[in-house]
Amino acid sequence: MNKITVFKVFSEVDQPSYVSLDAVINGIRDGKCKSQIDNIRSCKDDAEIKKLKMQLPCVLFAGAFDIPITKQRDNGTFFKSFRNDNSLSIHSRLVPFDVDDVDDVDRFKKDIIQDEFIHAVWKSPSGTGVHGLIKIADGNKHEQHYAALLKRYPMFDPSARNPSRVLFFSYDPEILIKEDSKTFFEVLEEEKFEGIKMTQITTDYKKLDIAAKMIRSAETGMRHNAVIKSSYLIGGYIAGGIVEEAIAREVLRHEVYNKFEGKDIEDEFRAIDDGIRQGQYMPINELARYQQEVMEEAGIMEEELSFLSSNPNDEEFIRRYKAGLIPMGLPFGYKDMDKYLLLKEGEFYATLSHSHTGKTTVNLWLIFLSALKYDWGWVIYTGENRVASVKMKILEFYMGTKIKESYEDNLQQGIKWLNERFFFINNENMHGYKDILNYTEKVSKYHSIKGVFIDPINALKTTDKASKYDYEMEMYTDMLLFTKRSNITLFISIHTRTQSQRERDSNGNQLMPYPADADGGAVLYNKADIFITMNRNIQDPATWMITELYINKMRNKETGGDVTPRNQAIKIKMNKGLEFTDEEGHLPITRTYLKAATKIMYHAPTEDDALMEIESIPF
């Protein structure tokens, strides 16, 4: 697990510490704050309890919040905060949850820990509720995962969906931990309110949506400020005859209702009224400047200019890169391979190899490692292989045994693991590349998807509406844009041209292909982020099990990886058709996750057993 963030007390938002999850769990169990918690649990005054809680350490379990965010107070002074969603650099893939007012806390803990996804649960500081943790598949979709969790666990606090959600330190010597808890893959893309559509032509809904988005996108701690500024902007729009007051007020109230809770809603409704009233006195020549100012602050871009790159997003990337906070590619676990080839989010991988040299198997192995090591979810389309055969290969990787030799318990465990992480597109009919990408985006709305594998690209349905060159240019460009837009990694495999497959060395072995040996070679090479060529001497009795890989292109070296030097191929060796080791026999995984197979003791059948069988036969 990655580091998580702790603040000594609630108010010290500028002084984070970074610790392991075990350190926090042990602190809760061992009573690091026992005396403070005892005082809280014995106190009967709600105001005093709130005051005492503010002196407790608070934990942000979602990861390392190490990017400082500058905030401005109402009096114009500034302060620095690390307790902000935008401060998160590396997600821990943990989601905290909070359940209040539990009648029987101990019973609730024992019941909920039985759920397959609950990783930890402990008593809250007040002693009347519980806190806990769940592992999720994709830290980039923290809120979408939480929305899906709320459907499964409606008792969770619905306001605790953002990554910078704080849980106060607690004390519970009987904290419950389940090390083998399952990862939660489901996501829920919630529909966004786009403003009220009316028939009057005097309301500019695009302008109205700017103010709505300001409230909708505001982070915790800045929401009230967003309400004031958006209301002031609306006041200017009303004075300028750009929007109708009744419609604009209703839209802002709707956004507040979705963003705030309890008595805060009425306070914010009053802030809307005050802001609109003051904004109507804004000089008309100041309206455009103020609109641009608040849009830049909120990171909002007008629809007419949406084709432009977002300056705040670009500046954020540059700032993160300067601070060394851009996540590096993830290692597959081989010493030589990890120098050059890493697993990266939102990248376009292309693998070129001759027919029948095992490129499907190698890609499936790398995909399997990503799912096993990092809980990546995948959509897979294999145009030339039966889906069941591909599933069997992944299951054999998982179990380390052939299907026919596997224990039923392990097979069932493997099938469940596979079905949670892999979605296979039916290949009984041909699909075009746009179909595959669209299917992937549809699945990603309900399940964490980090990658899609198309094998091979040559098996896709093409179109007759364009030349081969134009088609390939459009396809590979669309694929690259898909990875950047969705942050979903794309693996494709490609066959070499027929002429390239005929070329042999002096021993009769096929030569390592070059990128130009692919159909659309120059176009594909230019569009792919990572281009891999692969070969195996399938007819050489001494080396047929060794696959050689060359990394011919590595576009984004700042996140790790590089091209392989000439004549220094990455070599992996197939072992019994079940796994790939390096040349020294190192395997990057251990299969300790496999549960011990249940041993069944058989006894000779009796006459009663036989009679029971007869009774079940319909004569």
Quote the pLDDT of residue 351.
95
3-state secondary structure of 97: strand
What is the arithmetic mean of pLDDT over 198-209?
66
The helix or strand, by DSSP H or E, that contains position 523, with its residue range, turns out to be helix 521-527
CATH class of 346-582: alpha beta
What is the arithmetic mean of pLDDT over 341-360?
94
Pick left, alpha or beta for residue 189 (phi over 0 → left; psi -120 to 50 → alpha; otherwise beta): beta
Decide if pLDDT at 197 tops 50: no
What is the arithmetic mean of pLDDT over 549-566?
94
Give me the phi and psi of 142, to 5 degrees please. Answer: -55, -50
Number of helical H runs and strand E runs in the chain: 20, 21
| pLDDT tens by residue, 255-304 | 888 888 877 888 899 899 988 988 888 876 677 778 878 777 766 655 55
Nearest CA to 350 among 214, 486, 534, 216? 534
How far apart are alpha carbons 409 and 593 in whole angstroms? 12
Bridge partners of 510, per DSSP, are 504
Decide if pLDDT at 554 tops 70: yes
Mean pLDDT across the chain, nearest whole number?
87
When pLDDT is cut at 50, 70 and 90, the band that residue 617 belongs to is low
Tokens of 612: 């029971």
What is the arithmetic mean of pLDDT over 499-515?
82
How far apart are alpha carbons 297 and 210 in whole angstroms? 12
- Better-scored residue on pLDDT, 463 or 209: 209
- The one-letter code for the residue type at 396 is E
Decide if pLDDT at 177 tops 60: yes
Give me the phi and psi of 365, to 5 degrees please. Answer: -65, -45
Decide if pLDDT at 198 tops 50: no
How far apart are alpha carbons 481 and 479 in whole angstroms? 5
**DSSP string computed for 241-278:** TSS-HHHHHHHHHHHHHHH--THHHHHHHHHHHHHHHH
How far apart are alpha carbons 363 and 351 in whole angstroms? 8
State how beta strands 78-81 and 378-382 pair. Answer: unpaired
Pick left, alpha or beta for residue 76 (phi over 0 → left; psi -120 to 50 → alpha; otherwise beta): left
What is the arithmetic mean of pLDDT over 218-232?
85
**DSSP string computed for 106-152:** HHHHHHHTTSTTEEEEEE-TTSSSEEEEEEBS-GGGHHHHHHHHHHH
Quote the pLDDT of residue 52.
93
In this structure, of 69-78, 286-295, 321-330, 332-341, the range with the lowest mean pLDDT score is: 321-330
Quote the pLDDT of residue 443.
93
Decide if pLDDT at 229 tops 80: yes
Decide if pLDDT at 396 tops 90: yes
Asked if residues 448 and 185 have their Cβ atoms less than 8 Å apart, the reply is yes
When pLDDT is cut at 50, 70 and 90, the band that residue 109 belongs to is very high
The helix or strand, by DSSP H or E, that contains position 24, with its residue range, turns out to be helix 21-30
What is the arithmetic mean of pLDDT over 176-198?
73
Estimate to the nearest angstrom the gap between the alpha carbon of 280 and the chain centroid. Answer: 43
Tokens of 153: 């666990």
3-state secondary structure of 514: coil
The helix or strand, by DSSP H or E, that contains position 5, with its residue range, turns out to be strand 4-7
Estimate to the nearest angstrom the gap between the alpha carbon of 148 and the chain centroid. Answer: 14
Question: Hunting for tokens 């005050």 — which residue is that?
Answer: 274
Estimate to the nearest angstrom the gap between the alpha carbon of 354 and the chain centroid. Answer: 34
Question: Hunting for tokens 């500046």 — which residue is that?
Answer: 315
Quote the pLDDT of residue 195.
39
Pick left, alpha or beta for residue 585 (phi over 0 → left; psi -120 to 50 → alpha; otherwise beta): left
State how beta strands 570-575 and 546-554 pair. Answer: antiparallel
Quote the pLDDT of residue 145.
94
When pLDDT is cut at 50, 70 and 90, the band that residue 433 belongs to is very high
Decide if pLDDT at 307 tops 80: no
In this structure, of 166-175, 502-511, 556-565, 604-613, the range with the lowest mean pLDDT score is: 604-613
Nearest CA to 362 among 327, 334, 404? 334
Nearest CA to 358 among 498, 581, 545, 118? 545
When pLDDT is cut at 50, 70 and 90, the band that residue 208 belongs to is confident
When pLDDT is cut at 50, 70 and 90, the band that residue 158 belongs to is confident
| Residue spans in the chain of domains classed CATH 3.40.50.300 | 346-582
Tokens of 507: 């021993």
Decide if pLDDT at 464 tops 90: no
201-205, 314-318, 468-472: which has the highest mean pLDDT?
Answer: 468-472
Quote the pLDDT of residue 289.
78
Asked if residues 413 and 487 have their Cβ atoms less than 8 Å apart, the reply is no
Asked if residues 101 and 129 have their Cβ atoms less than 8 Å apart, the reply is yes
Quote the pLDDT of residue 297.
72
Q: Is the peptide bond before 541 cis (omega within 30 degrees of 0)?
A: no
Decide if pLDDT at 49 tops 60: yes
